[in-house]
Amino acid sequence: MPSSDPSFRMIRPSFGMLALAAAIACAAPLHADSSLPGPFPVSQRNVTVTRTNGTTFTAQLRYPATSTAANAPFATGAVPAPAVTFGHGFLTSVNLYDSTLDHLASHGYIVIATTSGGELFPNHANYAVDMRQCLTWLEQQDTLSGGFLFGAVNEGAFGVSGHSMGGGASMLAAAADVRIRCAATLAAAETNPSSAAASTSVQFPLRAIVGSADTIVAPSTTVNQYNNCDAPRQFVNIAGASHCGFIDSSFLGCDSISLPRAEQLAMTRALLVDFFDAHLRRDADAFATCWIAGAMAGTTANRDARTTASLANTSLTGDAGTDLVTTLTVTNIGPDATAFRPRATGTNLAVTFDPAESASITAGASAVFTVRIASAVAATETLGIDAVRLRDGAGTSVALAVEFTATSNPADLDGDGVVAASDLAVMLGAWGSCKACPADLDHDGQVGASDLAVLLGAWGS
């Protein structure tokens, strides 16, 4: 976690330096293929959450643990863990999402899923409040001395997700809760009150995932939420995916499965892990996967990072040992003010930015950075220049082609590739006053002892 970001808490000392070291080690993606299980065993607990009015409801908690046994201790290697509150679909048991929720937990996430909202006529507003109350419960447990989650929760890294009704309720929750840093929904349905209307108030990144063959919640329903979200946003359509392909098994009333369920679930898990890693862990590789790379195979994706970036020069050429310089202009499309931090990716060259981080700029304003690239040897590379929004971890990237050419040796006076006796002969032949001649290696208008010293120092090169 970037310590300069005040929204990311430091680890509580109760876990000691071992937990700190483990947390740093786990900060990077743990699998190149995020559809594969993560490194942590997953345990589950049923917990009781108390509402503000004193009533209670049950939630299922999945978390990285020391073993797969029920109620196992929390895995210190996952501390401090980001958390996701998850909403199930209409008349759909939380257990039908076991594989996806466990997958997130195996990658080091705490996942809490309310079992409320299972009525024939659920109150969507109350359901969204319960999803938010789950985050409050995590905050309470994080500060409960002696509790199994004491000091284990990253309270600055909360996300929300859900399927169908739960996806729509996710938008209601995200619009009303400033603690939520990003939302990733699955075939999100329209709710009452309207999730599409609530989306206008969502101020952090959204990844809306739908299935092209969904006959229960048409992708066009979720499009309304995506269009209304005035923040970094993505609309990802899985080709051939169905509504019930997002759950582990079908039940009465499900649509038909065209894309094999295992394939749809694997793609869904990868899309969730990558997005949460990018925005709750601020991981550079996940950022590239989410905002820079092409769409995942089998999907189409519309992406709007609310950011534009351009370089004064898209290619630079110069001698090795000299700096190549251009400028990067980054514009904040909105909706809220944010600072930007540029970074170079895909290169071993020395790249610096001035300033290293911009001041916070309002919607419509731009920041300009000087980009300086250095190499002591000949090199040809195309590198990525990322512009990362510090407010929410979204952003964009531009490509820069650079070529450092090998410099000729000025002491190689005859151009044969080596400094030797023939070059000494050329120098002696030019000895004395010799303005602007090649043998005047120190450029003082004379070929003399100082030039001879330069030549002898380069002898054999």
Listed by start position, the domains of the chain span 13-304, 307-405, 421-457
pTM (2 decimals)? Answer: 0.83
Measured CA to CA, the distance from residue 416 to residue 451 in angstroms comes to: 19
Structure confidence at residue 32 as a pLDDT band (50, 70, 90)? low
Is pLDDT larger for residue 10 or for residue 165?
165
* 383-407 average pLDDT score: 95
Measured CA to CA, the distance from residue 293 to residue 278 in angstroms comes to: 13
Burial of 55 (0-12, 13-18, 19+ CB in 10 A): exposed
SS3 content of the chain, % helix, strand, coil (to 5): 30, 30, 45
Q: How many residues does the chain have?
A: 461
Which pLDDT belongs to residue 322? 84
Measured CA to CA, the distance from residue 344 to residue 149 in angstroms comes to: 37
* 323-329 average pLDDT score: 97
Which pLDDT belongs to residue 377? 77
* 398-404 average pLDDT score: 97
Measured CA to CA, the distance from residue 432 to residue 448 in angstroms comes to: 6
113 within 8 A of 88, measured Cβ to Cβ = yes
* pLDDT digits 0-9 by tens, 134-150: 999 999 999 999 999 99
Measured CA to CA, the distance from residue 111 to residue 26 in angstroms comes to: 18
Helix (H, G, I), strand (E, B) or coil at 199: helix
* 353-369 average pLDDT score: 98
Which pLDDT belongs to residue 436? 66
Which pLDDT belongs to residue 415? 73
Measured CA to CA, the distance from residue 167 to residue 191 in angstroms comes to: 9
Structure confidence at residue 397 as a pLDDT band (50, 70, 90)? very high
Structure confidence at residue 258 as a pLDDT band (50, 70, 90)? confident
Q: Is the pLDDT confidence value at 18 over 50?
A: no
Assigned CATH class of 13-304: alpha beta
Provide the sign of the torsion angle of the four alpha carbons 177, 136, 388, 3, taken in this order.
Answer: positive
* 322-335 average pLDDT score: 95
CATH topology of domain 307-405: Immunoglobulin-like (2.60.40)
Minimum mean pLDDT among 12-21, 238-247, 311-320: which range? 12-21
Which pLDDT belongs to residue 42? 98
Report which of 198, 83, 226, 51 is spatially closest to residue 149, judged by C-alpha positions: 83
> Rounded to whole angstroms, what are the CA distances from 127 to 16, 60, 184, 247?
38, 15, 17, 20
* 314-320 average pLDDT score: 92
94 within 8 A of 88, measured Cβ to Cβ = yes
Minimum mean pLDDT among 44-58, 269-283, 394-408, 427-441: which range? 427-441
* pLDDT digits 0-9 by tens, 80-132: 999 999 999 999 999 999 999 999 999 999 999 999 999 999 999 999 999 99
Q: Is the pLDDT confidence value at 20 over 80?
A: no
